[in-house]
Structures are given as structure tokens and as C-alpha cells.
Amino acid sequence: MTSAFVIPGIARSTAGPDLAGLPIEQLLTLEVYSASKFTQKVSEAPSAVSVVTAADIRAFGWRTVADILRSMRGLYVSNDRNYVYLGARGFLRPGDYNTRFLLLVDGNRNNDGVFDQASIGTEFVLDIDMIERVEFVPGPGSSIYGANAFFGVINIITKNGRDLSGPQASVEHGSHGMRKARASYGMRHDGGAEWLFSASSYREDGPDLYFPEFDTPATNNGVARRLDHDRAQNLLLKGAAGAWSVSLAHSERTKGIPTASYSQAFNDARARTVDIQSFVDASHRAQLADDAQLTTRLFWGRYDYTGDYVYDYPPLTLNHDGSHSSWWGAESRLVTTRIAGHKLVMGAEVQRDYRQHQFNFDADPFVSRLDDRRAGNRFGVYLQDEFALRPSLLLNAGARYDRSSSTGDSSINPRVALIHKASEATTYKAMAGTAFRAPNAYELYYEMLSAGGQKSNPGLKAERIRTQELSVEHAASPESRLTASVFRNTVSNLITQTTDPADGLLVFRNLNRARAYGIELEWERAWTGGARLRTSYSWQRAKDVGSGALLVNSPRHLAKFNLSAPVPRTGWRSGAEASYVGRRGTLQGETGGYWLANLTLSAIRLAPGLELSASLYNLFDRRYADPGSEEHVQDAIVQNGRTFRLKLGYAF
Amino acid sequence: MHGLIIAILRRTVRSLVPALLLLPLKGMAEPEPAPVPEYELKAAFVYNFALFTEWPSDTAYEGGTLNICVNPGSALRHALAALNEKAVKGRRVSVRHLAALDTLRACHVLFVDGNDRERWVQIKKGLGGASVLTVSDDDEIGHDGSIIALGVDNKRVVFDVDTRAARQARLVLSSKLLRLARTVQ
């Protein structure tokens, strides 16, 4: 009868002090370390979401968003020592600048207007220390987010002024001449207004790299000297007062190109790319009623990329390649629970890409090879409803209409998820949906008609994906969660970079259909002592439907293991990470599977306010390589051996 | 612009590094208490809130216990369960799982967190003006009708008090509690 039953007194497992016996004044002075908390309500999301927090970032010594994402179920990365590319569920297309992932920063689209690029390496607009949480929502997200939410949505939630509460500084030092410094200040005032400022500078000299493909006396015996350098600066300013919040960010990243990609002359110190990003975002939250909230956003952004490429025509000539993209837009979203049993989300979004400029020219003598200026509009409206069919059965259904002026295409993408809470502990989900990606300005219009160049294809159509997924989440206790999913993705009109055999030029084409299916298993566990475990295994198979051939850069097996635990009696925490990526096909052959292990030891409080961490990456110095793309002579690009990083932080 | 940023950072780093290297020695000489687990600390706060609250004289204590209720899915339930057998003003504390809402009014203290978001509106309705000390630990529920809202600010647990909600529940919070609260509405 009575559902409130008495909890038997449990034996105290921790031998710590009896906090309840302390006076409340003293409790207020104690510092807490936050317990691992699975983000609430993930079990009701219409997808099997992965979440990583700032505590995980610190515990595992992650340096980039790519480091974070590669620890998540079903994801893997590829690094060509210029940019980092993300793969999901067996798809990582050569030449794709992560256009099939929507990257959101506090809910704002971060993909640029020319490449639709999701920046996850050192070119990412924010310093990783400013990240509070990263969520990855696998599966098609076009029914809410529109274009690019093709394989998944990466949502980066940044810190607020209250998370810092004063000035902070950190310095880092690592292998290959890596050094980094950050200064931040965050504040919350009594009235509730808060603000945050952070600036950081990072630099890495990088190793000299040997590429056997270029091992001739004329090309420095295959050694690219001092060409893997990397340099980045990030700025963030954030403020919130009442219903308003404003963010402003700027970043500049310069990366050397050691691979002589795009048929460049090998080992020329001038080869590099520069990525500059800025955004301003203002949003307003209005509580219209107890059960209705309206959020309105205004945003502006720009992404300028320039590449200095060196060609031996002959003579040796410096070529500048680049793009300027600028955009502004607005979005309104209404969430209401006014109708009993329903949670409605509706919204409209408009974006004006007022500058989409691509250029390419030789510096001296000046020869312009590309000067393509465009502008475009994107528009979308969406509606999603979550309603309870029965108390234990939720239906989440939504659709979005999108129109993009670049191709004149319009597209409607629905998604339906049925969520059955079979018991307090077990939730079943069945999900189906579609997503689309319109070809970007780069794929449509980029043209550089010389050796190693590329030609345009204005006739490209949008590609589409159809997804079906079944998943079950079982929480044996609030500290343990098991997730299993089975999925099938079918992509049609897949936009693929190929080399046209007729002229040797790269070109993007809508190729055949591709299909991927697989299973994913994940187990998360948190112990009362403060240890946390997240481990997963994925099996997947991705094929070209026409030829039956396996897709390149598509491992069949992925395994992840992330354990972070306090070191007894020391105040230190250890973060041990191991990941396995199976054998992957490359354009010409294959790269072997590899295990990678990283270890981080961190002390949150070495002394009051002082934080120290020491990390070893690729602990066992394993030699492994990532597949190259069409623009590389290298079929596979060897990655770093063992490296280290020391990080010291101080909160004043 | 970024030349300037680098210059400033470089200067900051140069002046900080020597200072930082000296700090551990200085800090270790006068150790501060080590950080404590969040859940245990928050549970200790809940117990203290009960100590500093006056329930109306007509409050029923079935079996003579002061009942602290918590969602069986709450991460704090183990930490709260450790309060069993402690005493508040001569009454034994009994920590109870609140799975359904029909026994809501048997609670003297009700702890709610993210697990209760869905049913928070129902809980508020079910409580009416009952003399239940509601303590929330969730950004979303926050001040939405709970008497005390817990939070973490600069790695320390803080709490905000809503005296209007307390008056409606006919509870009297001690002036000490109000003084120590971060905000009082």
C-alpha cells in the first residue's frame, strides 16, 4: 500500500568524517569534488546521447575536442597533420571537413559558410578549458537542426562566470616544444549577473617527420623539417544578466603542412594554413508563462581560411588559397507544455551567408586562378512534439522544412522516436529519421585547374541519410548504466571526392548509395569512492551498395575504455584511457588496427587553488597511422609516438 | 590584435611561473581540509536544515520519527540514508523512498533533484500548503516553489532560501539559517 518505505540504514562505506555532525558554518567552508552525475533525463532523449564533463576533460588530460569525441562510443578520428576529421558509425569520407556533423557552441551553429566545416582540432574556436560539457547526439538531427546534422550533433556547452569565481591562470608544457598559457576571469554578482573572460595562447614546434614516399635526395630524403608546427590563440568573452546573454569569441590558428598535400613541393617551410574564426551571439529567454518559454537568438559569424601552398611549376611558386565566409542570422524557439501531456518545441531559423568568397592566386608573378563570390540564404521551420501515449510510453515526433538558396533545394526531414520506460531501470527506444546535407560552396564551386587541383561541380545535389535504430538503456542502479543499440544508416547521393581519370583533377560527385549497419554496447559505472568507468564496444560495417566494396576509413571494430579513479590517500586522481580502432581500408590499401593508451595523473588541490596534471599520450609508444585522402601522396599518415604534457593551474 | 594578446600572455606567464613554482611549498605548510564528496556534504546540509526548522505544533509524527523523503532514483539516496538513526529535536530521523506521491504528506523534509523534474508540478500540487520542508538540488527546479535550493558556487555548497514558500508551509526557519544563506527572498 504505502509506496514510501523506510530505507534500511546502510553501513557507511566511507571512513570519512561524519559531515552531518559538523556545524553548518563549517559545512559552508568545505570544498566539494563533484560526484559523477549522469546528466539527467538522458534516458528520455530521442537518441542514445554521450556526455563528457569538464571533470572528465581534466581527468583524462584531453587537449582538443577531437580527443574528447574519440573517447565516445562509435566515434573515431583521423588526423592528416593539418586538420582532424571525425568518423561515426563507419563513415569518414576522405576530403570531408566534418561537414556531416553539426557543431553547436551553446546551441549556436559553428560550421562555417563555405566549407560547412566542424572544427574539432586546435582550430576550434574555444580553449578546451572553457568547456563545461560536451554532448554528442548520434543519428540524424535534421528534424530540429536542419542541414549538416547528418551523422550527429556535437553540442559544446561553455563555462559561465560562476564556474570560475575569480581569476585563473594555467600554463602547459609538452613534447615537441608544446607550450600554452591561459588567463581567465569569471565573476557572478549578487544580482545574478555574471561574466567571463578568457584568453589563451598555444604553440607547438612539432616533430620533424619522415615520409618514405618522398625519400629522394632532391626532397630532403623524405624528411619534412619543422613543418608540423601549430599555433593558436583563443579569446572568449561571455556575459549574462537577467534574460539576456551574450558571447563573443575569436580564434586564430596557424598550422604547418608537412605532408605536401595537393601536389605541393615537399619540405618547403612556407606551406601552412591559417584559420580565423569569430562569432557574436546574443540570446534572450522569455518566460511567457509557467509553461511556455521563448528563446530568441541573433548571431553573426565569420570564418576566414587561407592556405599558403608551394608549387614547383617550375619555378617554385607560392600560391595562396582561401575563403572568406561571413553570415548572420536569427532563430526563435518556443517550448511549451501548455497542452497536458505534450511537450511542444517549435521554431524558425534564418541565416544569410552574405559572403562566400573563394580565391586562389599565385603571388609572384600574380596569376588569379579562382575568384568566386557568392551569397546565399538558408531558412528552416520545425516542430517537435513529445507526448505520453501511456505513462510509460513516450512518442517523440518532429519534422523540419529547410530551404537553401545555394542549390534551390528544399527538404523535409522527419524523425520519430518511441520511448518505452519498461521499468524504473529499463528504457527501450525505437528511432527512425532522415537527415540531409546540401552541398557546400566549396564542393559546388571550388575550381583550380592545375596539377593537383580541383574542378567545380555546380550540378551537385543534396545527400540524404535514412536511419533506423533500436536501443535499450538499463540502469541497474543510479550508478550504473548499460546501453545497447543496433543501427542501420542508408546514405543516398553521397557527395564524394574523387579524381576524374580524364584530367587527373579532384571533383565532388554524388556517387552511389552507401549503407552501414552495426551494434554498439556501452557500460558506465560510478563508484561511491569517486571512481568512474565508461567503456564501449562497437561493431560496424559500411559498404558501397553499388559495388559492394567496403568504404575506406571505416573500421569494423572500435573499443573504448576510460577509467578515472582517486589514488587512495594522496588527493591525486588517475585517468587511464585505452582505445582500439580496427583495421581501416585506405584509398590504396589499408592501415592496421591499433590500441592506444593514455595516462593522466591530476591533483585538483596540490595546495589551495593549485592544480597540477601530468599526462602521457600513446603510453606504449605504438606506431599507428590514419588513412590519407585524395589530396595526399601518402596512403596513410603516421601519427605521433609517446608524448607528454604537464599542466599547472592556479585559481587566485 | 593577437600580437598584443601574445605579449600580454607572455608577460603573464613569465611573472606567473616563478610564483607558481613557489606556491606548493607555501601551501603545504598550512594544509586546508581536503575536498569532501558532494553527496555526503549535501546530505549533511539537509540534516542541518532540519535542525534549524520549526514545524507547526499540529504536525503529525507517525511512529515518532522525522521523515526525510527522497526519490529512489536520486544519486543522494545513499548519502541521505546515512542520516537514519540521527536525531532532530529528540525525534529519530527516518529516510524514506518516495516512489509514488500518495504518501507525500507523511514527509517532513522532501529532497528533490533532477529525477523529480517531471513530477515536480504534481509534487507542488500534492503538497498544497502542507508543512513539508522542500529542499531542491537542481538548476531547473531551483526556486520554483522549493523552500531551500542547494547549489555549488566556487566549489562550495551554498543555499538560497525562499521565505514566502516557507511561510506558506507554516515553517519557521531560524535566523541563523537565513543569515548563512547566499540569498534570501
For position A552, which CATH number holds?
A: 2.40.170.20
Q: Which three cell numbers stand for residue A421?
A: 520506460
List the beta strands (DSSP E) in A83-227: 84-88, 101-105, 108-109, 131-138, 152-158, 166-174, 178-188, 194-204, 209-210, 223-224
Q: Which three cell numbers stand for residue A24?
A: 553548518
* Domain assignment of residue A412, yes or no: yes
Instruction: Give me the amino acid identity at A233.
Output: Q
Q: What is the pLDDT of residue A570?
A: 80
> Beta-carbon neighbour count of residue A190 at 10 Å?
7
Angle at B178 between CA B173 and CA B180, to 5 degrees: 130
* Domain assignment of residue A82, yes or no: yes
- Nearest CB to B12 within list A28, A30, A181: A181
Contact A247, A158 (CB under 8 A): yes
Q: Tally the domains of chain A.
A: 1
**Residues contacting A320, CB < 8 A, separation 6+:** A306, A307, A308, A309, A359, A360, A361, A362, A363
Contact A227, A210 (CB under 8 A): no
pLDDT, tens digit, 9 for 90 and up, residues A492-511? 999 988 888 888 888 999 98
pTM of the model: 0.78
Q: Which residues of B touch A9 (CB under 8 A)?
A: 81-82, 84-85
Contact A420, A128 (CB under 8 A): no
Shortest Cα–Cα distance, B126 to chain A (Å): 15
Q: What is the pLDDT of residue B8?
A: 52
Q: What is the pLDDT of residue A82?
A: 96
* Domain assignment of residue A136, yes or no: yes
Name the one residue in this structure whose C-alpha cell is 501531456. Answer: A341
The answer on pLDDT for B166 being more than 80 is yes
The secondary structure of A155-181, three-state, reads EEEECCHHHHCEEEEEEEEECCCEEEE
Q: What is the pLDDT of residue A410?
A: 87
Q: What is the pLDDT of residue B26?
A: 33
Sign, CA torsion B129/B134/B138/B143: positive
Q: Which three cell numbers stand for residue A207?
A: 616533430
* Domain assignment of residue A6, yes or no: no
Q: Residue A590 is part of which domain span?
A: 38-651
Q: Which residues of A touch B38 (CB under 8 A)?
A: 32-35
**β-strand partners of B88:** B91
Q: What is the pLDDT of residue B34?
A: 60
The answer on pLDDT for B25 being more than 60 is no
pLDDT, tens digit, 9 for 90 and up, residues A280-331? 999 998 888 777 889 899 999 999 999 999 999 888 999 999 999 999 999 9
Q: Which residues of A touch B8 (CB under 8 A)?
A: 183, 199
* Domain assignment of residue A56, yes or no: yes
**What integer is the mean pLDDT of A27-31?**
72
**β-strand partners of A77:** A86
The answer on pLDDT for B51 being more than 60 is yes
Candidate from A3-12, A30-39, B83-92 with smallest mean pLDDT? A3-12
> Beta-carbon neighbour count of residue A1 at 10 Å?
4
Sign, CA torsion A562/A566/A567/A572: positive
- DSSP, collapsed to helix, strand or coil, labels residue A550 as strand
Q: How confident is the model at residue B28 (pLDDT cuts 50, 70, 90)?
A: very low
Domains in chain B, ordered, with CATH? 1-32 (no CATH), 38-184 (3.40.50)
Q: Which residues of B touch A19 (CB under 8 A)?
A: 36, 40-41, 43-44
Q: Which residues of A touch B177 (CB under 8 A)?
A: 24
* Domain assignment of residue A33, yes or no: no
* Domain assignment of residue A9, yes or no: no
**Residues contacting A189, CB < 8 A, separation 6+:** none
Q: Which three cell numbers stand for residue A599?
A: 595516462
pLDDT, tens digit, 9 for 90 and up, residues A406-463? 777 788 999 999 989 888 788 899 999 998 898 999 999 999 887 768 899 999 999 9
Instruction: Give me the amino acid identity at B166.
Output: A
Task: Compute the distance between CA of residue A481 and CA of residue A573 in angstroms, rounded to an integer.
Answer: 22
Is B44 close to A20, i.e. CB distance below 8 A? yes
Task: Compute the distance between CA of residue A539 and CA of residue A266 in angstroms, rounded to an integer.
Answer: 38
Q: How confident is the model at residue A589 (pLDDT cuts 50, 70, 90)?
A: very high
A570 touches chain B (CB under 8 A): no
A414 vs A140, A218, A397, A431, A467, CA distance in Å?
9, 57, 8, 11, 11
Shortest Cα–Cα distance, A368 to chain B (Å): 29
Instruction: Give me the amino acid identity at A137.
Output: V
A651 vs A165, A179, A336, B33, CA distance in Å?
9, 19, 40, 17
Q: Which three cell numbers stand for residue B81?
A: 540514508
**What integer is the mean pLDDT of B121-145?**
84
Contact A188, B153 (CB under 8 A): yes
Task: Compute the distance between CA of residue A234 and CA of residue A249 in angstroms, rounded to an integer.
Answer: 7
**Closest residue of A to B81, CA-based?**
A9
CA count, 13 A, side-chain hemisphere, A532: 19
Q: Which three cell numbers stand for residue A76?
A: 573515431
Question: What's the DSSP call for residue A91?
Answer: B
ipTM of the complex as predicted: 0.73
Question: What's the DSSP call for residue B100?
Answer: S
Task: Compute the distance between CA of residue B122 and CA of residue B113 in angstroms, rounded to an integer.
Answer: 14
Chain-centroid distance of CA A617 in Å reads 20
Mean of per-residue pLDDT scores for chain A: 88
* Domain assignment of residue A27, yes or no: no
Contact A189, A231 (CB under 8 A): no
Q: How confident is the model at residue A528 (pLDDT cuts 50, 70, 90)?
A: low
Contact A82, A119 (CB under 8 A): no
Contact B11, B17 (CB under 8 A): no
> Beta-carbon neighbour count of residue A234 at 10 Å?
26
